[in-house]
Amino acid sequence: MKVNVQKIFGNWDTGYSLDKHSLGSVFIGYNNYGHPMFDTTRTEIGEALYQLKFRSDRNQVDALGQQIVDSLGHFFQSASFILPMPASKLRAFQPVNEVANQVAALMNIPYIDNVLVKTASTDQVKNMPSKEDRVKALCKAFKINDVLVEGSYNALIVDDLYDTGSSLEAATAMLRQYTKIKKIFVATITRKNP
């Protein structure tokens, strides 16, 4: 897959994104329910993620996991384990979890999905005016589980889309409170257009 890797900045130690999510979007009218419709041109990575999340094309898991390892793996060689960013929407099939698990398998390091868990809904967060308010509210929605044996660990968070960074910053802030975590890395499949 074609990628356009970019460094992403936040309160984590190192973060990278594979590519923009989309290249452009044109309004094409309203559907039968009065909702606006758009013709969106996505990057190759953005299209693969779209197919995975919204068309349930599970074949994209392997390709996206492999692309993260091929394009970003060298930035995260010291990662001790991989965790998925807790999902904002509950689904029977969690795309980010599947991709994170694939990345862990390819990097031959543990996948641990219960270190950071979401304990409350965060739907209202997107309507908050400031990033600081969003991060504070999101921190309250997360909980750390002490599931790691004694030691010092570098965590790699895998997420699907980097937008404002609020969710990843909240996750990082929570993980920083866990004394067994030394460094925190972030890898996202796509990012919103600047």
pLDDT digits (tens, 9 = 90+) for 116-149: 998 887 666 767 778 888 888 888 889 999 999 9
Cβ contact 155:184 at 8 Å: yes
Residue 134 and residue 92: Cα distance in Å, rounded?
26
CA angle 145/171/156 to nearest 5° reads: 85
**Per-residue tens of pLDDT for the chain, all 194 residues:** 999 999 999 999 999 999 999 999 999 999 999 999 999 999 999 999 999 998 999 999 999 999 999 999 999 999 999 999 998 777 778 999 999 999 999 999 999 999 999 888 766 676 777 888 888 888 888 999 999 999 999 999 999 999 989 999 999 999 999 999 999 999 999 999 65
Cβ contact 145:174 at 8 Å: no
> What local confidence, expressed as pLDDT, does residue 127 receive?
72
> What local confidence, expressed as pLDDT, does residue 193 receive?
67
Closest by CA to 95, choosing from 63, 64, 53, is: 53
> What local confidence, expressed as pLDDT, does residue 194 receive?
59
Architecture of domain 6-191: 3-Layer(aba) Sandwich (3.40)
Q: Where are the domains of the chain?
A: 6-191
- Strand, coil or helix: 27: strand
Residue 101 and residue 95: Cα distance in Å, rounded?
10
